């Protein structure tokens, strides 16, 4: 597509979609959301760039091959699973260490745990999978504005 309107809207909408995807990812272990839906939203941003600017431009915006992204995500999810197995004796058991940010050393801060690590892994697997499938389909069909 060579649409000025789509290109202009994409420049505004794609970064907003990526920020929203990270927001959905980070709130997923407490509220509805998480890695899967966040990954789908991020994938939509890259697909939108692909439709507006071309597949090569979207792949350059992604910066890493989709298969590498999916593999990294799968590795993170597996690490999260084994973290629970080693620490608590059950695969994918939630671990919640506390990262202390207080200057006086008192308890407090941000609980970052294995559930967030698993969600980030799912997020990356979904982005890599969806973008990889879409880019390959677009390449096979030959629809490219480049």
The one-character DSSP state at 110 is E
pLDDT in tens, 58-102: 999 999 999 999 999 999 999 999 998 998 888 988 888 766 666
pLDDT at 13: 97
pLDDT in tens, 8-50: 999 999 999 999 999 999 888 777 889 999 999 999 999 999 9
CA 55, 137, 134, 126 torsion: positive or negative? negative
| Tokens encoding 76 | 């993170």
Q: Between 41 and 112, where is the model more confident? A: 41
pLDDT at 107: 65
Three-state secondary structure string covering 9-69? HHHHHHHHHHHHHHHHHHHCCCCCCCHHHHHHHHHHHHHHHHHHHCHHHHHHHHCCCHHHH
- Tell how strand 98-99 and strand 110-111 pair up: antiparallel
Number of Cβ within a 10 Å radius of residue 108: 11
Apex 19 CA angle, 10 and 136, nearest 5 = 55
CA–CA separation, 85 vs 83, rounded Å? 5
Q: What is the pTM of this model?
A: 0.87
pLDDT at 133: 97
């Amino acid at each position: 597509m060579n649409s000025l309107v789509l290109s202009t809207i994409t420049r505004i909408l794609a970064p907003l979609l990526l920020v929203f995807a990270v927001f959905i990812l980070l709130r997923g272990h407490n509220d509805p959301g998480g890695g899967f839906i966040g990954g789908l939203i991020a994938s939509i941003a890259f697909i939108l760039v692909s439709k507006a600017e071309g597949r090569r431009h979207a792949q350059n915006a992604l910066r890493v091959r989709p298969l590498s992204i999916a593999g990294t995500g799968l590795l993170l999810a597996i690490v999260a699973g084994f973290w629970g197995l080693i620490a608590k004796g059950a695969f994918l058991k939630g671990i919640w260490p506390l990262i202390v940010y207080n200057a006086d050393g008192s308890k407090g801060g941000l609980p970052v745990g294995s559930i967030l690590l698993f969600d980030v892994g799912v997020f990356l697997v979904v982005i890599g999978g969806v973008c990889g499938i879409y880019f390959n389909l677009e390449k096979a069909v030959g629809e490219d504005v480049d």
